[in-house]
A = this chain, B = another copy of it.
């Protein structure tokens, strides 16, 4: 019996407030073994804290970062990640792991998602070592204090960060 050859798609979920070079690295590594990646910006209608960027702004920034890569789609979702995956008919989730604290939280979520929908599998990737100490919250905090994050975000993201923080 031959295995049907089909295009493979993965969802890369997160807050992306904003997308960093660490996130970009995970997307590009996923494209090594997947045909398409859906970068999925999660949000909750009821969430008190808004974040720095609106969901629409985050989606626009990710689109701008990957404007030359037609194998990347960007979408926002509310509700359960596994429901979003089912809706899109995608069985693969990818997540980057940097540290032990990531590892524990991510495994908790992966095992819970598997329980909620057994057909969906989560794959973990190691980002480039240069980004092992990078997080979106650090990018927001350091930029707000006047630090230069140009090593850690794309130019389009840095411009938006600076204009956003000046207007705050």
Interface residues of A, Cβ cutoff 8 Å to B: 1, 3, 5-8, 29, 32-33, 35-36, 44, 46, 70-71, 78-80, 82-83, 91-92, 97, 99-101, 103-104, 107-108, 110-112, 114-116, 119, 121-126, 129-130, 132-135, 138, 142, 144-148, 151, 168
Contacts and interface: CB of A to CB of B under 8 A. Distances in A.
A125 B106 CA distance: 11
Q: How many copies does the complex hold?
A: 6
A103 B116 CA distance: 25
A134 B113 CA distance: 11
B129 A132 contact: yes
Contacts of A1: 70
A142 B111 CA distance: 13
Given A101-B104, A129-B132, 15 more contacts: A29-B121, A32-B91, A32-B92, A32-B121, A33-B91, A33-B121, A80-B142, A80-B145, A80-B146, A100-B100, A107-B133, A111-B132, A116-B147, A123-B123, A123-B125
* Most B CB within 10 A of own CB, among A7, A99, A133, A148: A133
